[in-house]
């Protein structure tokens, strides 16, 4: 990995890296925050997956998470939301599909098949890369995300409990198979077979998962996407049916923005720190 920028932040270092990805067969960028403790000893790492239209910069620059990560001794790993600049047909045509909108799946349809393997990138390639390049305590990872990234965090933890020990989400797309954003993305990346969609739907995955830590989800009650696109009640019912632990907190007055994320990000990082 090549470091392309670095700045001091809460006693640690906020860096941006570029590397060649096997999973996406492209150059990928990601931001990593190194807390002060990482200069002295191995530390646990928490991945943050961002939402539609975002890059690594949104969470890195808007959430204020570094302050809490510094106090808790957590590394923050913030990948991009998709490959970039591939010049694929339709790549830049729509804000909720293509560039910036991978939905963290392994695409099975052309022209996305060769590059949009983001589930493998996030759950396999990136943990291996971070472990090989930096000192990670016990190779322990947590994962969290916002909106589309909240969906990504949920499916990553539920499908790969061997990699991720903790999980949380802000305003996740809880049941992508049942809502317009998810249906559009799944049809484009995965095709028309509902069985393939279920492989990337947290509500469908929870019954068969070995992930046994409580998952924390915060959802703003004034979120304009709450009823049509996010539907956390479906997630709550799925967890209850599966006998799995979900702490779903509905926050009055909060919307879908990073003001909401910044308000509760400290509690989310504390949630992860307690599970390491």
* Residue 79 near residue 87 (C-beta atoms within 8 A): no
pLDDT of residue 140: 77
Euclidean distance between the first and final Cα of the chain, in Å? 26
**pLDDT tens readout for residues 198-229:** 999 999 999 999 999 999 999 999 999 999 99
pLDDT band with cut points at 50, 70 and 90 for residue 139: confident
CATH H-level superfamily of 2-275: Alpha/Beta hydrolase fold, catalytic domain (3.40.50.1820)
45: nearest Cα among 183, 133, 139: 139
Query: Could you say which of 80, 174, 223, 268 is catalytic?
Result: 223
Q: Count CA atoms within 13 Å of residue 155 on its CB side.
A: 29
pLDDT of residue 137: 87
What does the alpha-carbon distance between residue 43 and residue 51 come to, in Å, rounded to a whole number? 26
What does the alpha-carbon distance between residue 55 and residue 80 come to, in Å, rounded to a whole number? 5
Q: Does residue 238 have a pLDDT over 90?
A: yes
pLDDT of residue 84: 96
- The C-alpha angle 245, 247, 252, rounded to 5 degrees, equals 160
So where are the chain's domains?
2-275
Query: Could you say which of 166, 168, 177, 256 is catalytic?
Result: 256
Give me the sheet containing 136-146, strands edge to edge.
Answer: 2-9, 12-21, 26-34, 75-79, 43-49, 136-146, 164-170, 215-220, 246-251
Q: What are phi and psi of 128, to 5 degrees?
A: -65, -40
Answer yes or no: 223 catalytic: yes
**pLDDT tens readout for residues 150-166:** 999 999 999 999 999 99
pLDDT of residue 212: 94
Q: What are phi and psi of 188, to 5 degrees?
A: -70, -40
**pLDDT tens readout for residues 36-68:** 999 999 999 999 999 999 999 999 999 999 999
pLDDT band with cut points at 50, 70 and 90 for residue 114: very high
Answer yes or no: 256 catalytic: yes
pLDDT of residue 135: 87
pLDDT of residue 54: 98
Stretch 102-116: mean pLDDT:
98
Query: Could you say which of 60, 82, 99, 147 is catalytic?
Result: 147
Q: Does residue 180 have a pLDDT over 80?
A: yes
Q: Does residue 134 have a pLDDT over 90?
A: yes
Token pair 């807390």 is found at 35
The interaxial angle of helices 65-72 and 258-275, nearest 10 deg, is 10
């Amino acid at each position: 990995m090549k470091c392309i920028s670095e700045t001091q932040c809460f006693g640690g270092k906020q860096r941006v890296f570029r590397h060649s990805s096997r999973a996406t067969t492209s150059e990928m960028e990601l931001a990593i925050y190194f807390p002060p403790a990482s200069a002295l000893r191995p530390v646990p790492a928490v991945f943050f997956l961002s939402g539609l239209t975002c890059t690594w910069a949104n969470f890195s620059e808007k959430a204020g998470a570094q302050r809490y990560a510094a106090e808790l001794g957590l590394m923050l790993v913030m990948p991009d939301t998709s490959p970039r600049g591939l010049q694929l047909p339709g790549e830049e045509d729509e804000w909720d599909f293509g560039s910036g909108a991978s939905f963290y799946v392994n695409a099975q349809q052309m022209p996305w098949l060769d590059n949009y393997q983001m589930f493998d990138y996030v759950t396999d390639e990136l943990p291996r890369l971070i472990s090989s390049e930096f000192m990670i305590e016990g190779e322990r990872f947590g994962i969290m995300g916002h909106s589309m990234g909240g969906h990504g965090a949920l499916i990553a933890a539920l499908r790969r409990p061997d990699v991720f020990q903790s999980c949380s989400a802000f305003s996740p797309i809880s049941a992508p198979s049942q809502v317009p954003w998810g249906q559009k993305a799944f049809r484009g990346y995965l095709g028309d077979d509902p069985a393939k969609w279920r492989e990337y739907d947290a509500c469908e995955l929870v019954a068969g998962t070995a992930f046994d830590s409580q998952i924390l989800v915060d959802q703003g009650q004034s979120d304009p996407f709450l009823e049509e696109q996010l539907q956390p009640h479906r997630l709550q019912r799925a967890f209850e049916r599966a006998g799995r632990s979900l702490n779903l907190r509905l926050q009055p007055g909060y919307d879908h923005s990073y003001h909401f994320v910044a308000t509760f990000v400290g509690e989310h990082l504390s949630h992860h720190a307690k599970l390491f």
